[in-house]
A = this chain, B = another copy of it.
Amino acid sequence: MATSETDHVYKILELVGSSETSIEDAIKNAVSRAAKTVREMKWFEVVQTRGHIENGAVRHYQVTLRVGFTLDE
């Protein structure tokens, strides 16, 4: 955490990622999809974990994230 970091302004983006496998995978899917257009993402925070059920079984996980990224100078 160098001195220059203290001057950054972050913007927070809210995303929902999905996965049939795991909560971690849903997080990764959201982050990697956002990485196509947003540079300099620094952290995330899980806001909510949900999912869909089909035929009495978990069909997929759905995780809502707040993602912080640096606004370029």
Contact = CB atoms under 8 A, between A and B. Distances in A.
Taken together, the copies of this chain in the complex come to 12
> Which secondary structure dominates where chain A touches chain B?
strand
A57 B42 contact: no
Given A49-B45, A50-B46, A6 B59 contact: yes
A10 B16 contact: yes
Contacts of A35: 56-57
A65 B10 CA distance: 10
B16 A12 contact: yes
B24 A9 contact: no
Interface of A: 1, 6-20, 22-24, 27-35, 39, 41-46, 48-54, 56-61, 64, 66-68, 71
